[in-house]
Structure 1
Amino acid sequence: MATPTDVRHDPQRGMFELDMDGGTAHVEYRRDGDTMVILHTIVPEALSGRGIAGTLNAAALDHARKAGLRVDPQCEYTASYVRRNPAYGDLLVGDNRSS
């Protein structure tokens, strides 16, 4: 199983990527000041069901924490991942924070 340390970060392209079994999955984001706006989580169908989306999101959120960034999860998968993993809740900006 892939781990967040297997994930490549390409800040120029705003991507966290993971190559596995001939396919590439990724999380796409853009920076807005001190906020990482997570736009999409894309996992090819052939790679689905292996926890890859979670691994990618953990890597992105861990990076945001280490870099002192806030997170705006525009991607529905990322928003649901944070709800299931409340240790990341403190990273969320504004209306995304749970009450």
Structure 2
Amino acid sequence: MSEVQTNHNRDQQRYEAHVDGELAGFAEYVVDGDRVVFTHTEVDDRFEGQGVGSAIARAGLDDVRAQDGRSVVPRCEFIRGWIDKHPEYADLVAS
């Protein structure tokens, strides 16, 4: 399996994952004050089961954590479920 590379595409307000230079998936967000609202995550069918979604979630949430004072609103079902499975990120969720 090829390595998953992630990046923050600020222009399109999304975190992206690439495999062998090809866009494999992304998580879209909007900024609402000090909250980052994750609205939608999509992984290309060809890359499912290869850790692409997890790489995107981890990259996005780690980036939010690095921005002091920011919190997350996981409206996206995938991001919400990923946080539930990784409780070390639960402190990022806005109350």
Taking structure 1 as the reference length, the TM-score comes to 0.86
Q: Is the 8 A contact 2:84 2:90 kept in 1?
A: yes
Separation (CA, whole Å) in 1 of partners of 2:80 and 2:30: 16
- Partner SS state of residue 26, structure 1: strand
Given residue 78 of structure 2, which amino acid in structure 1 is its aligned partner? Y
Deviation track 1:11-52 (CA, whole Å, cap 9, x = no partner) reads: 221111112143431110010011000011110000101111
Cα distance per residue 1:36-89 (max 9 Å; x no partner): 000111100001011110110000000000012100000001001001000000
Q: Which has the higher strand share?
A: 2
Residue identity in the other structure for 2:37: V
Q: Is 1:12 aligned with 2:11? A: yes
Could you say which residue in structure 1 is the equivalent of 2:77?
A: 76
* 1:39 and 2:64 are equivalent in the alignment: no
- Give the structure-2-normalised TM-score: 0.89
Runs of 4+ that moved beyond 4 A: none
Letter in 2 for 1:59: A
Tell me what 1:49 maps to.
49
Calculate the aligned-residue CA RMSD, in Å. Answer: 1.4
Question: Do the aligned partners of 2:36 and 2:72 also contact (CA within 8 Å) in 1?
Answer: yes
Corresponding residue of 1:62: 62
- Percent of aligned positions that are identical: 28
Once residues 37 and 61 of structure 2 are traced to their aligned partners in structure 1, the CA distance between those partners, rounded to angstroms, is 11
- Tell me, in whole angstroms, the C-alpha distance in 1 between the residues paired with 2:23 and 2:7: 14
What runs of 5+ residues in structure 2 fail to find an aligned partner? none
Stretches of structure 1 lacking an aligned partner (at least 5 in a row): 95-99
Structure 2 contact 24–52 (Cα < 8 Å) conserved = no
